[in-house]
Amino acid sequence: MIRLFTPDPLSAGVAVAPSPEQSRYLLSVMRLQTGAALALFNGRDGEWRAVIETIGKRGCILRVEAMLRPFGLPPDVELVVALVKRGPLETIVEKAVELGVRRIRLVLTRRTNAERVRLDRLQAIATEAAEQTGRVEVPEVSEPRKLEALLADWPADRRLMFCDEAGDDPQAEWGGDQGRARPALDALKPGDGPWAVLIGPEGGFAPEERAVLRGLPFVTPVTLGRRILRADTAAIAALTLWQAALGDWR
């Protein structure tokens, strides 16, 4: 069944006008007729069955019938991702939504290419991914912030899984076991509280950034094997391991 996001309120009997793009998709691409059923969600009221009531020159009107599924949030994990090139960044947003993140925060790091980011486009990709993956809400994609500022404001109860591609480099400037990166499944132990996953830019974090991150009490440094992963692969792998170890894939 086709699923569409709408900003409108949803309850039994109300009428909803899809956006012009959604009308075109329903009528011209999918060639639905009057009476055809689809699912609607708005991020507040759950998922509802609706049918095409009328088809006019300027689109169609949907009539909401019955609730299919109540509203619910996925486990509390966010993705914090450095700005990477447009292609991989769009992949990361799409896949992070499929993998159930509650929010995507963009960050600027020392080695970030400060390419201009089109937040409206990323949010549209997140919405489409939510429609396809069966979510009843859409994660917000937040305006880019500097890593330092984000860490300065960080809520003390949210752990940060720091995917450190340099891993256990013996020449690293931190010593001892305190900030040692471990395989993700060893480092992610069930417990209370929300999490976030941090993915660096293609060039990796700068040594100063890594030292700061390793020293923060809410940071859990993890390794993702010894092969070099692109940023999009690392993001998908890290979120997969989080869901499998601590989230709703258990």
Within 64-83, the residues that bind a second copy by CB under 8 A are 74
- Kindly state whether residue 12 participates in binding a second copy, applying the rule CB under 8 A: no
- Kindly state whether residue 99 participates in binding a second copy, applying the rule CB under 8 A: yes
Give the pairing type, strands 219-223 and 77-82: unpaired
- Kindly state whether residue 58 participates in binding a second copy, applying the rule CB under 8 A: no
- Least distance (Å) from a second copy to the CB of residue 23? 24
- Kindly state whether residue 6 participates in binding a second copy, applying the rule CB under 8 A: no
Residue 50 pairs in a beta bridge with: 38, 64
- Kindly state whether residue 236 participates in binding a second copy, applying the rule CB under 8 A: yes
Q: Sheet of 182-183: strands edge to edge? A: 140-146, 103-108, 77-82, 195-199, 159-163, 219-223, 182-183
Q: Of these, 46, 59, 100, 139, which contacts a second copy (CB under 8 A)?
A: 100
- Kindly state whether residue 169 participates in binding a second copy, applying the rule CB under 8 A: no
- Kindly state whether residue 187 participates in binding a second copy, applying the rule CB under 8 A: no
Stretch of 31-39, 154-162, 169-177, 219-227 contacting a second copy, by CB under 8 A: 219-227
- Kindly state whether residue 135 participates in binding a second copy, applying the rule CB under 8 A: yes
Q: Which of 119, 160, 158 is nearest to 141 (CA)?
A: 119
Residue 222 pairs in a beta bridge with: 163, 182
Q: Which of 45, 195, 74 is nearest to 135 (CA)?
A: 74
